[in-house]
Chain A
Amino acid sequence: MKTIKANLKYLKYLFWLGPMLVLAGLTAGVVSASWGIAPLGLIVAGMVLIGLWLLFLSRFEESKTRPGFWRRRSTQAGTNALISTVAVLVLLGLVNFLGTRYVARLDLTENQTFTLASETQQLVRNLKQPVKVWVFDPQQSTQDRELLEGYRRLNQQQFSYEFVNPNAQPAIVQRLEVKKAGDVIVEAPTTERKQFAQSVGNDERLTESKLTNAIAQVTTTQQVSLYFLQGHGERPTEERQGAISEAVKALQDRGYTVKPLNLVESVAFPKDARVIVLAGPQKALLKPEVDALANYANQGGNLMVMVDPNVNPGLDGLLSPWGVTLDPRVVIDTSGRVANLGPLDVTVTQYGDHPITQNFGNALSFYSGARAVDAKETKGVTFTPLLFTSDRVWAESDIKKEPIQFDPATDRQGPLVLGFALSRTLSAPATPAKPSPSPSPAPSPSPSPEAKQKESRMVVIGNSSFVANGYFNQVMNGDVFLNSIRWLSQADQQTFSIRPREAKNRRIVLNSQQANLTAWLSLIILPLIGFGTAATVWWRRR
């Protein structure tokens, strides 16, 4: 018994393990950010040890000279203190919790630099579905965080954001199709729609304008309808040989409605046609069809034209008013020999300065069997070349001649342009007069989306295989197509033109007298007063 008592004297220090185990468990849980079996086990073990300790204090520490631990007055006072401390902590915690939920903010800066624009406030306050902003920036800039915090404050139920280190969480990176570090993606989880907002880095920080527009696009309920022209051997939209069903699926994932369009049945266009796509017609279009398309393009319609070589689609009536001509020759690319590519496989690594291709850098896209496209100055039309081939390329007039060689007489030396983006401002607010007054007395006043648009857009690419199944998900091919559709649908036209809140331009104009006075006061006089008084006080005390 005596030895046990003596041992107990030292054994009781073992109880210090209790708090340490709890601490270790908490640390492990926080660091690994998961509360699995190990951290919880550590915490529980620590709690048990602490419990044993308290029990031990009450049972064994009793002796004749001192009352037991639990009977001492200091313990009672200590327990009271502990309970009231915990109560105050909980109370303060609650007050702070409520304080972060219901925040009142006052921005005293002159330009209201830290207040979000009224458009943003209205949009975010009225969000009907959850929206999450993912910032794939390992640096987590304070400025970006402040901006996002401002959004979250407007609507804590629906808006959330998260900073993600793209290297640490590849699953999320893959799901949201993140291209590089710094990308900001806005996601609407309920509709599974996502929208790239912008790329942040040291030279560019998150802007309210881009973020608000991305949120607006991801939550918009307005359906954008795309029509794929059929009936001339165009690539089929359903699963088949040479089909573009992968591209169609990607479009549907992004919230577009994709429908087929057959002009033979009726030459009238559906009203909701935002973009019409010609995906590689193999036969010439009929004249009424071409006229209808030209008319559509003149009235604010948007067209995506993809034409393969060795085909005469008969589109001159549509393309010549825009100043576009299709070169009939086939582009031969010799630069791909190393990569086991045939002479017909054209690779593009240079892109024009245009919203469609602005983030591409020198990434590769790939076109099997292409023709060059030319555009010339035309009144009212602005055009931007999109896809440049390398200079080891030429347009071959006779592909059957063996061996394929550059012939200066009939062939055309590269670099060539495979695609153009064009836009044409509508001269007058084109409100097509109704051909015949409708006899029904109640015309449905549906606001047509065209009413807002001030320009027509067109993308012409001398190839259609790059969107076909098997090619679409390769390299940048899908991005060329999807970005073109996005630009054509005029969704990039900023619905909210939020000017960035700029700081006031202000200078400090000090004359030399003022500067001297400042330096003297701050560096010499004030410290001297402090030290001088200290010395005097010390002297007097002596």
Chain B
Amino acid sequence: MRIIIANILAIYRRELQSYFASPLAYIVAGIFWLLAGIFYVALLLGPDGVIQRAALIDAQSQQFGIPAPPVDAPTILLQFFLQALGFVSLFILPVLSMGLYAEERKRGTLELLATSPITNWAVALGKLLAVVTFFLTMVLPLLVYQAIAYSATNPPMSAAVVLLGHLGLILLAASILSLGMFISSLTDSTILAAIFTFALVLLLWMIDSLSRSITGPLGSMLGHLSLLKHYGNLTQGIVDSSSLILFASYIILGLFLTAQSIEAFKFQRS
């Protein structure tokens, strides 16, 4: 057991080092931060942002003397921003996961990995942990400037919903990265891996609205597969056990399929 953990850690460390030494990863992070910043400033300070809209509603209610419907500005900001982040992640995450195995295939180091004494799933888990950690370091700085707004609310806001929403984002990312890792293990072309991952994730993102035209248990089954629906639950502040199970299933499925795919790779030549 200890050896397995040591192996996983070794892979994890190696992968992380390669991320932090690669200019591509920093460019991806920079683009992510820029897009997130544009969305955040537009949502908060822009002409249609929450502060302006709340002010408009207050002014109207004062002018006409009608009590305005309650507006929870920070919650609206949080939900819209997390939605935007989820959407940006759709494009960013396939880029992060595309090189996980495809790069090894291209360089020819996959044979080494496949025939090494480390089990396939330990390699996959180590790689997944590393890429999720990298995504985490991309998300954490966003919390810094969000904290400015959320601490300046009146009445004050609890941090639980904010943290839960971001946890949801990490879970969503882990699911997408896990499936992307599997797709990356199928091909030696990183571009192909990114495109296929993007297509798959887009399908899982939109499947909820597609399933609405189907009635009966099949429709609700397909609807349950939707990433958007479960991510939406978490961003709203609801912890639903079925959502957590679904995310865990995606992560496990990705890990398992990756291990299987490397196993099959071993025997391809024989």
B window 220-267: CB within 8 A of A = 224, 236-242, 245-246, 249, 252-253, 256-257, 260, 263-264, 266-267
What 3 pairs between A and B have smallest CB-CB spacing?
A530-B30, A522-B37, A534-B26
Say whether B239 contacts A518, CB under 8 Å: no
Say whether B144 contacts A521, CB under 8 Å: yes
Say whether B270 contacts A74, CB under 8 Å: yes
Q: Which of B37, B75, B256 contacts A526 (CB 8 A)?
A: B37
Say whether A114 contacts B236, CB under 8 Å: yes
Say whether A538 contacts B41, CB under 8 Å: no
A523 partner residues in chain B, CB cutoff 8 A: 34, 37-38, 41
Say whether A527 contacts B33, CB under 8 Å: yes
Q: How near does chain B come to A116, taking the closest CB pair, in angstroms?
A: 13
Say whether A538 contacts B23, CB under 8 Å: yes
Q: Give A533's nearest chain B residue, CB to CB.
A: B26
Complex: A114 Cα to B29 Cα, angstroms = 35
B116, CB-defined interface residue at 8 Å: no
A504, CB-defined interface residue at 8 Å: yes
B154, CB-defined interface residue at 8 Å: yes
Q: How near does chain B come to A188, taking the closest CB pair, in angstroms?
A: 20
Question: Provided the pairs A92-B253, A505-B70, A509-B154 are in contact, do residues A73 and B270 lie with their beta carbons within 8 angstroms?
Answer: yes
B66 partner residues in chain A, CB cutoff 8 A: none
Complex: A73 Cα to B73 Cα, angstroms = 62
Query: Binding site of A, secondary structure by majority: helix, strand, loop or mixed?
Result: helix
Say whether A518 contacts B160, CB under 8 Å: no
Chain A residues touching B, range: 35 or more
Say whether A30 contacts B218, CB under 8 Å: yes
B window 66-116: CB within 8 A of A = 69-75, 77
Q: Which of B51, B216, B245, B263 contacts A510 (CB 8 A)?
A: B51
Q: How near does chain B come to A304, taking the closest CB pair, in angstroms?
A: 38
How does the 8 Å CB contact mask read for A498-525 relative to B, with 1 for contact and 0 for none?
Answer: 0000111111111000110111011110
B3, CB-defined interface residue at 8 Å: no
Q: Give A506's nearest chain B residue, CB to CB.
A: B72
Number of residue pairs spanning A and B whose beta carbons lie under 8 angstroms apart: 198
Complex: A33 Cα to B213 Cα, angstroms = 9
Say whether A99 contacts B246, CB under 8 Å: yes
A174 partner residues in chain B, CB cutoff 8 A: none
Question: Provided the pairs A110-B158, A514-B152, A522-B36 are in contact, do residues A104 and B241 lie with their beta carbons within 8 angstroms?
Answer: yes
Complex: A529 Cα to B141 Cα, angstroms = 11
Say whether B157 contacts A506, CB under 8 Å: yes
Complex: A429 Cα to B73 Cα, angstroms = 47
B14, CB-defined interface residue at 8 Å: no
B22, CB-defined interface residue at 8 Å: yes
Say whether B253 contacts A530, CB under 8 Å: no
Say whether B263 contacts A81, CB under 8 Å: yes
B215, CB-defined interface residue at 8 Å: yes
Complex: A107 Cα to B56 Cα, angstroms = 30
Q: Which of A96, A100, A106, A507 contacts B54 (CB 8 A)?
A: A507
Q: Give A541's nearest chain B residue, CB to CB.
A: B23
Binding site for A on B (CB under 8 A): 21-27, 29-34, 36-38, 40-41, 44-45, 50-51, 54, 69-75, 77, 141-142, 144-145, 148-149, 152-155, 157-158, 160-161, 164, 212, 214-216, 218, 224, 236-242, 245-246, 249, 252-253, 256-257, 260, 263-264, 266-268, 270
Complex: A72 Cα to B45 Cα, angstroms = 65
Complex: A402 Cα to B77 Cα, angstroms = 75
Complex: A77 Cα to B261 Cα, angstroms = 11
A96 partner residues in chain B, CB cutoff 8 A: 224, 242, 245-246, 249
Say whether A518 contacts B44, CB under 8 Å: yes
With contacts A506-B75, A526-B142 known, what are 20 further pairs, Cβ within 8 A? Answer: A92-B253, A108-B237, A109-B236, A502-B70, A507-B154, A508-B50, A508-B153, A509-B152, A510-B148, A514-B149, A515-B45, A517-B145, A518-B145, A523-B34, A523-B38, A527-B30, A527-B34, A531-B27, A537-B21, A537-B23
Complex: A92 Cα to B241 Cα, angstroms = 15
Q: Which of A505, A522, A530, A538 contacts B71 (CB 8 A)?
A: A505
| Cross-chain pairs A/B with CB under 8 angstroms, 15 sampled | A33-B216, A88-B253, A95-B245, A99-B245, A103-B240, A103-B241, A108-B158, A108-B160, A109-B237, A502-B70, A507-B154, A508-B154, A515-B45, A534-B23, A534-B30
Question: Provided the pairs A74-B270, A162-B215 are in contact, do residues A509 and B23 lie with their beta carbons within 8 angstroms?
Answer: no
Q: How near does chain B come to A126, taking the closest CB pair, in angstroms?
A: 23
Say whether B27 contacts A534, CB under 8 Å: yes
Binding site for B on A (CB under 8 A): 30, 33, 72-74, 77-78, 81, 84-85, 88-89, 92, 95-96, 99-100, 102-110, 113-114, 140, 162-163, 502-510, 514-515, 517-519, 521-524, 526-531, 533-535, 537-538, 541
Say whether B212 contacts A163, CB under 8 Å: yes
B26 partner residues in chain A, CB cutoff 8 A: 530-531, 533-534, 537
B267 partner residues in chain A, CB cutoff 8 A: 73-74, 77-78
Query: Binding site of B, secondary structure by majority: helix, strand, loop or mixed?
Result: helix
A89 partner residues in chain B, CB cutoff 8 A: 253
Q: Give A150's nearest chain B residue, CB to CB.
A: B238
Q: Which of B27, B144, B257, B260 contacts A530 (CB 8 A)?
A: B27
Q: Which of B77, B141, B144 contacts A508 (CB 8 A)?
A: B77
A538 partner residues in chain B, CB cutoff 8 A: 23
A529 partner residues in chain B, CB cutoff 8 A: 30, 33
Question: Provided the pairs A73-B270, A100-B224 are in contact, do residues A531 and B149 lie with their beta carbons within 8 angstroms?
Answer: no
Complex: A418 Cα to B227 Cα, angstroms = 58
Complex: A110 Cα to B78 Cα, angstroms = 14
Q: Which of B38, B50, B215 contacts A33 (CB 8 A)?
A: B215
Say whether A506 contacts B71, CB under 8 Å: yes
Say whether A99 contacts B241, CB under 8 Å: yes
B212 partner residues in chain A, CB cutoff 8 A: 140, 163
Question: Provided the pairs A514-B152, A530-B29 are in contact, do residues A77 and B72 lie with their beta carbons within 8 angstroms?
Answer: no
Say whether A522 contacts B40, CB under 8 Å: yes
B153 partner residues in chain A, CB cutoff 8 A: 506-509
Question: Provided the pairs A33-B214, A114-B236, A537-B21 are in contact, do residues A518 and B45 lie with their beta carbons within 8 angstroms?
Answer: yes
Complex: A99 Cα to B246 Cα, angstroms = 8
Say whether A521 contacts B158, CB under 8 Å: no
A502 partner residues in chain B, CB cutoff 8 A: 69-70
Say whether A108 contacts B148, CB under 8 Å: no
Q: Give B165's nearest chain A residue, CB to CB.
A: A108
Complex: A526 Cα to B29 Cα, angstroms = 9
Q: How near does chain B come to A153, taking the closest CB pair, in angstroms?
A: 9
Question: Provided the pairs A502-B70, A509-B152 are in contact, do residues A107 and B238 lie with their beta carbons within 8 angstroms?
Answer: yes
Say whether B242 contacts A519, CB under 8 Å: no
Say whether A77 contacts B152, CB under 8 Å: no
Q: Give A537's nearest chain B residue, CB to CB.
A: B23
A100 partner residues in chain B, CB cutoff 8 A: 224, 242
Q: How near does chain B come to A511, taking the closest CB pair, in angstroms?
A: 8
Q: How near does chain A come to B259, taking the closest CB pair, in angstroms?
A: 10
